[in-house]
Structure 1
Amino acid sequence: MTADALRTPVPVVRGDTSLPAGYRHPHASEEARRIAEEGTILRVQVGSGVHGTSITGQDDRDEMGICLEPPAHVTGVARVPAGTGAESAMVEFEQYQRHTVWDRPGGLANRSGAGDLDVVVYSARKWARLALAGNPTVLLLLFVPDAEVVHRDEAGVELVENAHRFVSQLAAGRFIGYLSAQRAAMTGGSGAHTNRPELVAVHGYDTKYAMHALRLGLQGVELLTTGRITLPVREPDRTYLRAVRRGEVPFDEVVAAIDDAEQRLIGLRASTSIAAEPDRAWVDGWLHRSYLRHWARS
């Protein structure tokens, strides 16, 4: 029996697709919110909570979704306002992005914390472009366990069932790039900055960036060797990542672990056992039939 035959069927999850009200942000107009809500096919939790690396009382909730926009935004040139109160400035609909922390004094300058919701719902076409390029952040949406799924309809099910079609050497390059950026921020490398000075003050470096750099390395290796990302992160890696985040692992040991994961990714990027390109033809077909079915029901 094949691995595909043994895989548990992906269920439809009918959930609440409502989103926080619009805001004065280029991707947060009320019209963009309506498009995202009405067209959502998949929405999940994607932050530290789903990785299993969160620290109690410290983390916000991050969600990501995919939506199918109306025909005028795909076959035409329709646009949406660039945020509330900006009806004269119009932008192409690519996503609805909203952080509830913006509602407090300080607005867009605020940093999300415990109890806040950060949510982004991408146009399916934009999400697909990012996923085909191997973007680690958007690929994660395909591997979230059912318990962390907010909403998933039939189009979302089909997408998740075909997650393997996005695995390619391009993903290896993207994981390496994201890992390198997190490592640079962790160590204060050239062009990097941290918005968590409290961690640097206590540990001498940004332990959250360190944890994310190592997590990206571990998950990238898993994706490229198995075609999947296990969520939450498998043990003993999960416990080790949490220890890194708490500053319990010596700096030199953390750097060595990140470097080792990076070298494994570099090796996998050159492996002939991994497809050079994702299955773009399948993705094109999925987008085409998903949009047509959605429009027929609207």
Structure 2
Amino acid sequence: MNVLLSGIVGSTAYGLAHAGSDIDRLGLFAAPTADFHGLRRPAESHVTTAPDRTLHEAAKWCRLALSCNPTASELVWLPDDLYEVRTDLGADLIAIRRSFLSARAVRNSYLGYATQQFRKLTTRDPADPRSRAQGAKNARHLVRLVEQGLALHESGEVTVRLADPERVRSLGEHYAERPADATALLADAEARFDRPGVLPDAPDEAPAEAWLRRVRTAHLTAA
């Protein structure tokens, strides 16, 4: 596969990993350009669980990033030491990462995913030990998504590595035990998202379009 950019994401990247944590990898690849002209289009994603790795085709990744999908977007905001593959085209993508951002998409995605985690918290079975452990994980994701989304809204930067992982862990445990307390966190986030931020109303698609065309030109023939 023509992997253009790949790195370690998830709990390791956030600073939330513990001894038993899986190492999650995310990347993007370029399908041979000729493959887009047959009867069937090439696969847009490849996902494996041993190891845990997700690879998105370049165009799909761009669409996800233009919607400010938190998981996909973090690929171009990783600390340098977490990249395992970074080709010239991958570096070019990192250079245009701000062009994918927009205020409405950031609010909808980060706050939307955080709200999903809250719903999972409120519907779990507190008597089930496995459900309790999953609840703590959901709560940590809730806190992380709120913090990262607000930082992005107010600064224009995606902060993948959390400044205070222990605080996020502690709040996660608290909200897992008392889900109703998380409503105040979400209400405050909504109020802050309602205030003007630094992001544009719409993403600038031109850099992504130009980059994707360079990718297609570079992969006109199969490797």
- In structure 2, what is the equivalent of residue 257 of structure 1? 185
Deviation at 1:182, TM superposition (A): 0.8
CA contact (8 A) 1:41 1:68 kept: yes
Matched, 1:224 2:141: no
Q: How do 1:201-280 and structure 2 match up within 5 A?
A: 201=132, 206-235=135-164, 238-247=165-174, 251=178, 252-265=180-193, 267-268=194-195, 271=196, 273-280=198-205
- 2:212 is the counterpart of 1:287: yes
Change over 3 Å in CA distance of 1:99–1:250 after alignment to 2: closer
- Work out the CA distance in 2 between the residues paired with 1:150 and 1:61: 13
The root-mean-square deviation of aligned C-alpha atoms, in Å, is 2.5
Tell me the amino acid that sits aligned with residue 215 of structure 1.
R
- Structure 1: distance between partners of 2:25 and 2:183: 29
68, 73, 79: which one pairs with 2:30?
A: 68
Aligned equivalents of 1:74 and 1:297: distance in 2? 12
| Partner Cα distance (1:64, 1:201) in 2 | 27
Contact 1:73/1:93 (<8 A) preserved: no
Partner of 1:145: 79
Aligned partners of 2:4 and 2:28 also within 8 Å: yes
1:162 maps to amino acid: I
Secondary structure of 1:74's counterpart equals helix
Q: For the residues of structure 2 that align with 1:248 and 1:216, how far apart are their CA atoms?
A: 14
Task: State the Cα distance separating 1:161 from its structure 2 match.
Answer: 1.5
> What is the aligned-residue identity percentage?
27
Distance of 1:253 and 1:66 partners within structure 2: 38
Residue identity matched to 2:76: L
Count of paired positions:
220
User: What is the TM-score normalised by the length of structure 1?
Assistant: 0.67
| Aligned partner letter, 1:167 | L
TM-score, with length taken from structure 2: 0.87
5+ residue gaps, structure 1: 1-37, 80-91, 101-116
Distance in 2 (alpha carbons) for counterparts of 1:197 and 1:75: 51
In structure 2, distance between residues paired with 1:69 and 1:218: 35
Residue deviations 1:267-286, cap 9 Å, x none? 15xx3753121111111111
Greater share of helix: 2
In structure 2, list runs of 5 or more residues that go unmatched. none
- Which has the greater radius of gyration? 1
Return the offset for 1:148: 0.9
- The CA deviation string for residues 174-197 of structure 1, in whole angstroms up to 9 with x for no partner, is 112111111111111xxxx68x94
Residue 182 in 1 paired to residue 117 in 2? yes
Structure 1 SS opposite 2:162:
coil
Counterpart check, 1:125 vs 2:59: yes
Structure with bigger RCO (C-alpha 8 Å, 6+ apart): 2
Distance 1:74 1:197, change over 3 A: farther
1:223-248, Cα deviation, whole Å (9 max, x unpaired): 1222212231113xx22112134458
